[in-house]
A = this chain, B = another copy of it.
Amino acid sequence: VARTRRAGATANVRWLDPEEERAWRAIATLIHRLRWALECQLEEDAGLSFIEYHAMARLSEEPDGTLRMSDLAAVTNASLSRLSHLVTRLERWGFVRRRPDPLNGRFTQAILTDAGYRKLAASAPAHVAAVRELVVDAFTSTELGQLRALSGRIVDRVDASRWKQLPT
A-side interface residues toward B, CB under 8 Å?
A: 1-4, 7-9, 11, 13-16, 19-20, 22-24, 26-38, 40-41, 54, 57, 60-61, 77, 117-118, 120-125, 127-136, 138-139, 141, 143-148, 150-155, 157-159, 161, 163-164, 166
Contacts and interface: CB of A to CB of B under 8 A. Distances in A.
Counting every copy of the chain, the complex holds: 2
The A interface is mostly helix, strand or loop, or mixed, namely: helix
B128 A153 contact: no
Given A1-B127, A60-B2, A23 B158 contact: no
B128 A163 contact: no
B77 A117 contact: no
Contacts of A35: 31-32, 35
A57 B4 contact: yes
A134 B158 contact: yes
A49 to B, nearest CB: 13
